[in-house]
A and B are shown apart, each in its own frame.
Chain A
Amino acid sequence: MTYEIERPSPCLVRLKAAIPAAEAERVRRQVTREFAESTALPGFRRGKAPMPLVAKRFAQEIKSETEERLLRAVWDEAVATEKLQVAGPLGVVEARWQDGGGFAFTGEFEVYPQVTLPPVSGFAPPEFAIEPSEEEVEAFLKGLAERQASWQGVEDGRAEDGMLVEAEVEGEFPQGGGDPFREELAVFRLGSGEVYPEIEEAVRGLGIGGEAVARRDVTRQGEEGTVPVEYKLRIKGLRRKVVPDVDDALAAQMGVEGGLEGLRKKAREVLRQAKKRERFKALREALVKYLGGEQPLPLPKRVVEEETRKAAVRYAESLHRQGVNVEELNWQELAPKLEASVAERLREELLLDHLANQLGVAVSDEDVDAVVRREARERGVPFAELKGNLAKSGGLAKIRGILRRERAVAQVLEPLLGEG
């Protein structure tokens, strides 16, 4: 059999093939024989019906099966010979039986692009300082102190921005349109926008026991126009945030030995670890960018579409779990963004897969099992059940792929990171 390959685009292959009559006849006979062996016709025991009878009785089925086998044979040969990485099924554009009994067809299928990676030795990692500056340490300690802050009651003071206000609220609709309501203890932080500005304005400057009235026109849900609401407020308590000083006492409160210096040391170490993670992430991004070169890698359209669809489903499910009505989302607007992020992920995977191939990175079944075992423990499900489900859904192959890629990245980056 002879075939021709055309590449209309980097990810699309057009396959034209002509199968000689003798080969087509051989396959047709084989198919007919298999039909004859497996079918039971009236008057004949299974497998005893004569071939001509079977050939006429199942003419259409035999023809389809023969065509499929011929297509598959040529396709497999072309893929193996040309070393193509198939990304989608073969779509038949044209297929016809020739007068002499030969079979010819034209089909198209998508492939992953051919990737030629630049030498890894040429990768120059960007500079990334992991030693935190004094300002960063101070900011970290300040944040730490903020988190240790307490709210202390204010007996004589007046409500001002930043204070926590505890108030009794009574609301009514002077012109009708709603039932009066009452809240025994409403707590809000003044100046933070947690309540209406009219309420904040009314409360500001009041002491404990002080009363005020705030008015606001509100829109009732599902109705047009507004109705005025009158809020009667009575201050029941005021609290001021007290942030502890960054000193030995704070260190002791945090359970750190060595006083303030010990706390500083600890903060520096935490920041250094965070920066190391950031550095690895930045270097990984730089490596992928370097491997990808200047031009964005072309991707098979159908794969991107399918992956985008899956990503959209996952996103919708996660939003639904959070109680968001997914039908109200503008999917038309969201789709291009989703597609761009999927394409970026696919490009990264493709490049890193090639890198792993180039480096000869291997992942054993035990490595995959270890990941599945850890996941099973976290989810609280039996290991065998999770592994079985993953095997069915292709999850094991995905885990293996992720491990391979991450090992390839680590293999390149770890020598560059040195002891840091």
Chain B
Amino acid sequence: MKDPREIIVRPLITEKTSALQEQANVLCFEVAPEANKIEIRQAVERLFGVKVVSVQVVNMRGKLRRYGRFSGFRPDWRKAYVRLAPGEKAPEFFEKV
């Protein structure tokens, strides 16, 4: 099994994810592009010691970046919404922000 820290890249803490966490107990992470839902569920459960109910993933397109006459794209990445079981306490990420 892969190291959970290779699968979970970083938590995404924004206004939207904070609201999701508060209202639906859903955490949001940037994850490794090749990680699947099962690996993500296991990684979150091992890293944070919580019970995961479901995982939804989104493939994000890298944004267009232009440097003068040169233009290119930021790398594509993968985002995962992880729903925790009711009653599970979300981990405290803020120190890493």
Contact = CB atoms under 8 A, between A and B. Distances in A.
A53 B21 CA distance: 14
B38 interface: no
Contacts of A52: 92, 94
Contacts of A49: 15
Contact of B15 (A44, A56, A57): A44
A56 B95 contact: yes
Interface in A37-57: 41-45, 48-50, 52-53, 56-57
Interface residues of A, number: 12
B26 to A, nearest CB: 15
A43 B94 contact: no
Contacts of A48: 15
Interface in B78-94: 92, 94
Nearest to B21: A50
Nearest to B93: A53
Contacts of B64: none
Given A44-B15, A50-B18, A56-B97, 17 more contacts: A41-B97, A42-B14, A43-B12, A43-B13, A43-B14, A43-B15, A44-B14, A44-B18, A45-B15, A49-B15, A52-B94, A53-B13, A53-B94, A53-B97, A56-B95, A57-B94, A57-B97
A49 B97 CA distance: 12
Contacts of B94: 52-53, 56-57
A343 B43 CA distance: 75
Interface in A15-73: 41-45, 48-50, 52-53, 56-57
B91 to A, nearest CB: 13
A35 to B, nearest CB: 14
Nearest to A54: B94
Contacts of A57: 94, 97
